[in-house]
Amino acid sequence: MTDNIFSGLKVVDLASFIAGPAAAVILADFGADVIKVEPPNGDTWRIGYRVPPQPMADDNYPWHLDNRNKRGISVDLKSPEARQIIERLARWADVMIVNTPHPARERLGLGYADVAKFNPRLIYADVTGFGDAGPDAQLPGFDLTAYWARSGLLAMTHDAGTAPTMPISGSGDHATAVGLFSAIVTGLYRRERTGKGSYVTTSLLAQGVWASGVVVQGALAGARFYPLHDQVNPPNPLSNLYRTADDVWFVLLVPPDKWPALTKALGRSDLLADPRFADATKVTENAAAVTAILNAAFGAHPMAYWAQALDAEHVTYGAVHSPTEASRDPQLRSNNIVVPLADAGGHLSETISSPITVHDVDKVAARRAPELGEHNEEVLTELGFAPGEIDDFEVRSVIASKPRRAA
């Protein structure tokens, strides 16, 4: 194994909640020195696990997921004295990540022009809800509203006759984090070639539209859309969800040329002799009839039976796993998707690694996220502040008076 790719890279994470901090986690996983900057009352994500419908636990699992391998300081950025800290952080950093709304950002002296004057090589990474321009640029952005609802994704992810499905909180944020990470790396590569810093950005809306790109591009092409999915009468019964006798749903995904193989797995090769089902085109034309046959067949045996039968004929399927089942999937540990987490305390001993692997390169071993203001003195000393200045910051409440354990 070689050294960590981003060893020596200095990152200031001024972002809150999920997308920006999660992008910083990817950099930290590969060795970057990341300083998490929080307000005195802490990042909102510290209490995220207490808000329904998030899974309830004694341990602050989302905080460690999105802030592991970082050092943490707590600064009241609204304080005039905080400008000194911002300036020194900007001079220190290679990358600065922000998601503060633009008007507030300018008031705090956190705009690109404000900080780039201290460090023209800085990669300034910005994540917004709806982009930098347009009538809704200043709207607050959340993954549920910008990534899911606005992008077209949510309109397509429910069955006919049902309400749109409430997405999983954070799913759009974590996808957007990978996009923001890509923008940062692109800026760093440009800096390698030109010596110049960059202002790089993405938005939850842009990432959501990219995720739904096939259907949105179809709309741009004037495509004709099928009705919303209907399990009993789908456009293609070979690409549908089915339920087994033990109440396990699975996705069936059968290319047209594999229809004979599916009939063999079902023990229903006789279907090929039926003129309604002789080939894949006929199968599609008679989708409701085929679906009824498949529903009856799959409902007669448990998932284990069908896994063996479908595997024997090399028919593609995927069982629908619950989060608990997914967390126990041996593939996750075999591929270092789930890795040990050190020193988090409580019952939290593992975490999800970032979804990028570079072979022959180690990731940093995952360690707990910082407590609120845990590294105030350490970081401010590295930035060149004298002990008396740090004490004065504390007296004036520019920084948190004492590190407090995360909620």
Domains of the chain: 10-211+326-395 (3.40.50.10540), 239-243+249-319 (3.30.1540.10)
Distance CA 208, CA 248 (A): 29
Residue 68's Cβ-side half-sphere holds a number of Cα atoms within 13 Å equal to 28
Distance of CA 259 to the CA centre of its chain: 36
Distance of CA 127 to the CA centre of its chain: 13
List all residues 6 or more positions away from 222 whose beta carbon is below 8 Å from its beta carbon. Answer: none
Distance of CA 358 to the CA centre of its chain: 19
Q: What is the pLDDT of residue 29?
A: 98
Provide the whole-model pTM. 0.94
List all residues 6 or more positions away from 336 whose beta carbon is below 8 Å from its beta carbon. Answer: 353, 357, 363
Nearest to 27 by CA among 185, 172, 191: 185
Q: What is the pLDDT of residue 406?
A: 47
17 near 43, Cβ under 8 Å?
yes
Tokens of 308: 């063996």
Q: What is the pLDDT of residue 49?
A: 85
Distance CA 190, CA 178 (A): 18
**Is 96 strand, coil or helix?**
strand
Q: What is the pLDDT of residue 2?
A: 59
Q: How far is CA 365 from CA 60, 324, 353, in A?
A: 19, 24, 10
Nearest to 63 by CA among 23, 10, 22: 22
143 near 206, Cβ under 8 Å?
no
Q: Which residue positions in the chain have pLDDT lower than 50? A: 406-407
Q: What is the pLDDT of residue 197?
A: 98
Compute the C-alpha angle 24/27/30, nearest 5°.
150
Amino acid at 149: A
